Copies of this chain bind each other. A is one copy, B any other.
Amino acid sequence: MNKKRSPIDLGALQGEETVTGSGRDEAIYRNLYAAIVENHLEPGTKLPEDTLAEAFAVSRTSIRKVLQRLAYERLVDIRLNRGATVAQPTVKEARDIFAARRIVECGAIAQVVARATPAKLDELRDIVRREQEAEARGDRRESIFLSGEFHVALIRLSGNDTISDILAGLVSRSSLVIATYGSPMSGSCRHTEHHDVLDLIAAGDAEGAREWTERHLREVERSVVLLEENPAAPDLRRILDDVAQRQRRQR
């Protein structure tokens, strides 16, 4: 028997009574996205439409739209008549994703060096600071998340939204890869400091920044080894509640 639980709070913003229109789908999307990318939902977890619909207090129609979108982004896997599950990247996919990141990030870094301003670089330093704090307190989840944020924010300085969006997709899929294959210890970008590349950029050293990026990404890939894990069926509903609460706190 499924106990009835009160729906997840999506957080009506700006004094609206209830979240409505596209804002609601967006909120649901963000919640699920965060749950997957921040590794609260293990790869392979089933995502039944009814459960999600009840959890967010909407009809299956809205849920389907969100799942469809996540499927396009390759974060969930939808099979005919079989529903959606959190995607499990294969080893080849994992390699392809990292190779793609090397191409994209190394290719865009020259523009970043050309267009970076001290103010923008300070924003990046702030991300690094928070990343180090999370790491210091042992919050591996947050530290992985902020590491991804750093890479995307860095490339966004290139001013090319198209390439930045592409990278954002690759980074979120990287999180899934780390979730499936990541070794318990390393995982994130601990070996080399993100600070270093900021100094290279500040110095206007485009080629140095490119080399750093290449080396850095190879190290990250190498630290994610091929370990297999078997997930037990988790309490989907409880996890979603937790993530939603976290989201609410962040506003």
Contacts and interface: CB of A to CB of B under 8 A. Distances in A.
A162 interface: yes
A80 B160 contact: no
Contact of A72 (B22, B69, B96, B97): B69
A100 B166 contact: yes
Given A72-B69, A72-B72, A166-B166, A160 B107 contact: no
B104 A103 contact: yes
Contact of A96 (B68, B96, B106, B163): B163
A184 interface: no
* Copies of this protein in the complex: 2
Contacts of A68: 65, 68-69
Instruction: Classify chain A's interface size.
Output: 20 to 34
Interface in A90-107: 92-93, 96-97, 99-100, 102-104, 106-107
Contacts of A108: 103
Interface string A200-214: 000000000000000
20 contacts: A21-B80, A21-B81, A22-B80, A65-B68, A72-B73, A92-B161, A93-B161, A99-B162, A100-B162, A100-B163, A100-B166, A102-B107, A103-B104, A103-B108, A103-B163, A104-B104, A104-B107, A106-B107, A162-B170, A166-B166
Given A72-B73, A107-B107, 5 more contacts: A21-B80, A21-B81, A97-B162, A99-B162, A162-B170
- Per CB-CB distance, the 6 closest pairs between chain A and chain B, nearest first, are A103-B107, A96-B162, A100-B163, A72-B72, A96-B160, A100-B162
